[in-house]
Amino acid sequence: MRALAFDVFGTVVDWRSSIIAELQSFGARNGLQRDWASFADAWRAGYAPAMDRVRRGELPWTRIDDLHRTILVDLLGGAAVAEADIDELNRAWHRLVPWPDSVAGLQRLKQRFVITTLSNGNVSLLTNMAKSAGLPWDCVISAELFGHYKPDPEAYLGCARLLDVAPHELMLVACHPSDLRAARDSGLRTGYVRRPLEQGPGGPLPEVEDGEFDVIAHDFIDLARRLGA
Amino acid sequence: MRALAFDVFGTVVDWRSSIIAELQSFGARNGLQRDWASFADAWRAGYAPAMDRVRRGELPWTRIDDLHRTILVDLLGGAAVAEADIDELNRAWHRLVPWPDSVAGLQRLKQRFVITTLSNGNVSLLTNMAKSAGLPWDCVISAELFGHYKPDPEAYLGCARLLDVAPHELMLVACHPSDLRAARDSGLRTGYVRRPLEQGPGGPLPEVEDGEFDVIAHDFIDLARRLGA
């Protein structure tokens, strides 16, 4: 195995806590009161159906930044907020905070493997996030480069092609079994990392079958140890 | 200005010294005697015409790794060398050594700007080079992502699009005036860095007109100072 490709939202960064904190601050600045945790969950929940519209061809290729903004405007429901403030809030997804083990684990894994993003987030989002969070990627690969969102096979195979490795020399690391299953169907290896807090305390845990993935780890440090890095 | 895109071969790394050293070592391993400095110059000289064949549509999209290998095999002229040794030598372009100021200058520029490659080298070449040379890119952008080699405008405008900046918010940094002129024609800002040793000691220096580029610097530390980074 030569390279590791990481899902980002949920796997590397704690989108939920980050977005709730940004929403609370946005609410205070704009005099808006909402249940910001539910708002964050609804914002995130709008993302998969919006991508699916792109995947089915009902929408032309649209960046996550633009999908996020459409969902956000809809959730704000006509509240009087300046366009610039909406743009600034939408860029909260560029500023998500990593899980406590992410940076140290990536630094260790980077000693042995090429490490890249393989996210549905657009290149500028991933680049800005790496800068603000100190994520030490060797390169930034996004569904945007292929015009295909995960779980389309073009994303997994395109990542292997850009890195010039065979699919079986590349491992997808993710906390979402559906992403890993699609990567496996394209011939990639799979590393499942549990992120029990992704949906908040007490949130549901995905169901995974024994032996379904090549490696199961409880964080990136554990993943590094299991991969001999 | 928000981002800097760097030409790589010659601008960031000293391809000539690196390639000569690799060729000498290859020659010693394989019992071949040649004028390795001339061989290196011929290898590099084959690159622009090969890319131009792709740009004119005479060849389908072909990665630099594959163009480099074709030129190399041609220059070796049937010498008895194992395929694996040719592959290994061809990857010398993944291991080029930076100029002495490159890493420190990039680290400084990265504090203020998004810094990316914008090279005709393929993504895997640039990724491996960054890893071996310690180049602290925020992301890795290549002509390969657009299916258009520089100086086609698609490369410059594609880079701005992926970074989500306007062309005038992006500066191309290069030691080759032709690259900078094409970037300027696409609306980018331009930073010319002199690399008098690119073609070896006593090599020709490009001719540049006064005021032709936004910034002229004698190395990356000087560039950082001039850009307030």
> What does the pLDDT look like over B98-135, one tens digit per residue?
999 999 999 999 999 999 999 999 999 999 999 999 99
**The predicted structure's pLDDT at residue B204:** 86
Binding-site residues on chain B for chain A (CB distance < 8 A)? 65, 110, 114, 116, 122-124, 126-128, 130-131, 137-141, 144-145, 162-165
Query: Average pLDDT, whole number, for chain A?
Result: 97
For a pLDDT cut of 70, what percent of chain A falls above it?
100
Interface test with B, best of A61, A107, A139, A159 (most B CBs within 10 A): A139
The answer, yes or no, to whether residue B156 has pLDDT greater than 90, is yes
CB contact under 8 A, B162 and A144: yes
Q: Which residue of chain A comes nearest to B130, CA vs CA?
A: A138
Q: Which CATH superfamily is domain A3-14+96-227 in?
A: HAD superfamily/HAD-like (3.40.50.1000)
Residues of A in contact with B145 (CB under 8 A): 145
The alpha-carbon gap from A152 to the nearest alpha carbon of chain B, in Å, equals 18
Instruction: Express the helix, strand and coil content of chain A in percent, nearest 5 each.
Output: 50, 15, 40
CATH topology of domain A15-94: DNA polymerase; domain 1 (1.10.150)
Q: Give me the DSSP letters along A115-137.
A: EEEEESS-HHHHHHHHHHHT---
User: B78 pLDDT band (50/70/90 cuts)?
Assistant: confident
Residues of B in contact with A140 (CB under 8 A): 138-140
CB contact under 8 A, A144 and B127: no
Interface test with B, best of A2, A123, A126, A165 (most B CBs within 10 A): A123
Residues of B in contact with A122 (CB under 8 A): 162, 164
Interface test with B, best of A127, A128, A146, A162 (most B CBs within 10 A): A127
CB contact under 8 A, A163 and B131: no
User: Which of B130, B138, B144 is opposite residue A130, by nearest beta carbon?
Assistant: B138
* Structural contact between residues A112 and A229, judged by C-beta atoms closer than 8 angstroms: yes
**The predicted structure's pLDDT at residue A210:** 87
**The predicted structure's pLDDT at residue A179:** 98
Q: If you search the block for the tokens 């993935």, which residue do you land on? A: A213
Chain centroid, CA B137 distance in Å: 14
User: B25 pLDDT band (50/70/90 cuts)?
Assistant: very high
CB contact under 8 A, A139 and B144: no
CB contact under 8 A, A123 and B144: no
Q: What is the per-residue pLDDT across A67-103, written as a single tens digit (0 to 9) for each?
A: 999 999 999 998 889 999 999 999 999 999 999 999 9
CB contact under 8 A, A127 and B144: no
* Domain locations in chain A as residue ranges: 3-14+96-227, 15-94
Neighbour count for residue B160 (Cβ, 10 Å): 23
User: Which of B110, B116, B124 is opposite residue A164, by nearest beta carbon?
Assistant: B124
Residues of B in contact with A165 (CB under 8 A): 124
Query: Average pLDDT, whole number, for chain B?
Result: 97
Residues of B in contact with A127 (CB under 8 A): 114, 116, 138-139, 163
User: A40 pLDDT band (50/70/90 cuts)?
Assistant: very high
CB contact under 8 A, B130 and A145: no
User: B74 pLDDT band (50/70/90 cuts)?
Assistant: very high
CB contact under 8 A, B114 and A128: yes
3-state secondary structure chain B: CCEEEECCECCCECHHHHHHHHHHHHHHHHCCCCCHHHHHHHHHHCHHHHHHHHHCCCCCCCCHHHHHHHHHHHHHCCCCCCHHHHHHHHHHHHCCCECCCHHHHHHHHHHHCEEEEEECCCHHHHHHHHHHHCCCCCEEEEHHHCCCCCCCHHHHHHHHHHHCCCHHHEEEEECCHHHHHHHHHCCCEEEEECCCCCCCCCCCCCCCCCCCCCEEECCHHHHHHHCCC
The answer, yes or no, to whether residue A29 has pLDDT greater than 90, is yes
The alpha-carbon gap from A88 to the nearest alpha carbon of chain B, in Å, equals 14
CB contact under 8 A, A114 and B128: yes
The alpha-carbon gap from B203 to the nearest alpha carbon of chain A, in Å, equals 34
Topology alike, domains A3-14+96-227 and A15-94: no
ipTM here:
0.95
Pairs of residues, one from chain A and one from chain B, whose beta carbons lie less than 8 Å apart: 59
CB contact under 8 A, A139 and B139: yes
Q: Which residue of chain A comes nearest to B133, CA vs CA?
A: A138
Hey, what's the torsion of the CAs at A107, A47, B123, B104, to 10 degrees?
Answer: -50
Neighbour count for residue B91 (Cβ, 10 Å): 16
pTM given for the model: 0.96
Residues of A in contact with B116 (CB under 8 A): 127
Sign, CA torsion A63/A64/A67/A68: negative
User: Which of B114, B122, B141 is opposite residue A131, by nearest beta carbon?
Assistant: B114
Which two tokens mark B149? 């080699």
Q: Of A136, A142, A98, A102, whose CA–CA distance to A118 is shortest?
A: A142
β-bridge partners, B140:
B117
Q: What is the per-residue pLDDT across A135-173, written as a single tens digit (0 to 9) for each?
A: 999 999 999 999 999 999 999 999 999 999 999 999 999
**The predicted structure's pLDDT at residue B142:** 98
